[in-house]
Amino acid sequence: MADRFSKRQVTSKRQVTILSIDGGGIRGVIPLAVLQFLERELEILENGNKQKQEGEASNKKARLADYFDVIAGTSAGALITSLLAIPSPRTAEEIIDLFYKEGPKIFSNPGDIIEENSEQDTTPTRAILNPVYNGERLNEVAEKVLGKDTLLKDLSTNIVIPTYDVQKDSPVVFTTRLTMLAIREASKLFPEAGDYSNYLILSLGTGKEKLSGGRPLLTGAGIFDWFCGLESIKNLSLKIPPLVDMLFRVSEDITVMMTSYTLGERNLRNYLRIQDYELKPEHAAIDNVNPKNIDDLKRIGRDLISRYVAIPNSETGLPKVIFKEDEKNHSPNNLPPKNQDELKW
C-alpha cells in the first residue's frame, strides 16, 4: 500500500487515496500508532527512490497529506486530520506526543460524573444534567496547535470533518458514515477517477470492546437505565450507557457494510480497515489519560499492524475477524495477509 500511495500517482485513470480516522477520545492513539508505521514505510520508500535517482542518501520526513487526496476524521479523528493537513503538518509521532501532553486538557472530564457532582449536589439530577466534558479546553488546545488564523484553503490536502449544529438541529456533515462520506466527497473532487476501482481507502478504528458471551440482559431496565445507565455502567463495567454503546456498534457495522457494498467485491482489495475487535474493558474508556493507558493504546496500535486483515464477507459486508485464540484453528494457507503486508504493498 505504501508503494501504491507514493506521491499521489497520476495514471490514465486518476487514483484517489482516502484516509479515514474514527473518533474515540484518547483512543485516537491507536490509529496514530498505525500511521506512525505507515510514515516510516513511506520514508523508506521515498528516500530509497531519491537515493537511486540522485545517488545520495535522504532523510526527508514523510507528510501524510502528500499521499492522501482526502483525509476524513470525526471527534479525536478530526483533530488528527487537522494536524496532518495544516500548512506545517505534524507527524503521527508528534501527535502522539501531543496526546500525552495535552490529553488531560482535551479528553479528561472534570472528575467522575457520579462522585464529583454528588459532592456538589446530593441529587442525581445534577450529575445527569451537567456536561461531562468542557469544550473550552479543547478550543484552547486546538487554537494553540492549529493556529487561530488557519483556514481550510491553507491546508495541504482536502479534509472532511463531520459535525452537527445542535442549535439548528441540523447536520453540517453527516457523522455516522465517515468512510462513505469521504468516498462521496472524493468522487466530487476527482470525477476523472471514474469508477471505484481506482479508489484506495485506508480506514482506521480506535478499538471495539469485545463482548465475551454476549451482553448481559438488563432485566426490568427502564428509560433511565438504557439512556443514562449510571447503575448499569457500574454493574456491567461498561464505559458508556448500554443503548449508546449499541448504537455505536451498529453504526460502525453499517459503515463497513455500506463501504463494502459501494466498492463492490472486485474492489475490496483497495479497502483496508484496521480495527482492534477485541479491545479489553480497561482500555475502552475514551477519557483515561493516564500515561500508562496511553502507552498501552500505543502498543495496541502497533500490535494491530501484525494482525491478519479482517476481510469483508462478500455477502454480509461485515469483516471476518480472526482473533488471536482462533489462529491455531486455521491452516496457514487459508489465512489472509497481515495488515503490515498490506500497508507495505
148 contact partners, CB below 8 Å, separation of at least 6:
none
| pLDDT tens-digit readout, 107-135 | 765 544 444 444 444 444 544 556 666 66
Per the model's pLDDT, the better-predicted residue between 329 and 183 turns out to be 329
Do 275 and 208 touch, CB atoms closer than 8 A? yes
Give the pLDDT of residue 302.
Answer: 97
Would strands 311-312 and 319-320 be described as parallel, antiparallel, or unpaired? Answer: antiparallel
Give the pLDDT of residue 119.
Answer: 44
Domain 16-111+131-306 CATH assignment equals 2.30.110.10: no
* pLDDT greater than 80 at residue 83: yes
Strand partners, 134: none
* pLDDT greater than 80 at residue 68: yes
Q: How many residues does the chain have?
A: 345
Residue spans of the domains in the chain: they are 16-111+131-306
Residue 193's pLDDT band (cuts 50, 70, 90): low
Q: Show the cell assigned to 66.
A: 502528500
pLDDT mean over 4-15:
53
Do 65 and 73 touch, CB atoms closer than 8 A? no
Give the pLDDT of residue 137.
Answer: 78
pLDDT mean over 272-281:
90
Q: Above pLDDT 70, what percent of the chain?
A: 62
pLDDT, the chain, mean: 75
In angstroms, rounded to a whole number, what is the distance separating the alpha carbons of residues 135 and 52? 49
In angstroms, rounded to a whole number, what is the distance separating the alpha carbons of residues 236 and 234? 6
* pLDDT greater than 60 at residue 237: no
Give the pLDDT of residue 66.
Answer: 93
In angstroms, rounded to a whole number, what is the distance separating the alpha carbons of residues 336 and 333? 8
In angstroms, rounded to a whole number, what is the distance separating the alpha carbons of residues 301 and 156? 26
Which phi and psi (to 5°) does residue 198 adopt? -105, 15
Which phi and psi (to 5°) does residue 279 adopt? -65, 130
Residue 341 CA, distance from chain mean position: 20
What element of type H or E holds 95? helix 92-106
| pLDDT tens-digit readout, 277-320 | 889 888 988 889 999 999 999 999 999 999 988 877 767 767 78
What are the Cα distances from residue 212, in Å, to 207, 216, 277, 279?
15, 10, 12, 11
In angstroms, rounded to a whole number, what is the distance separating the alpha carbons of residues 12 and 274? 29
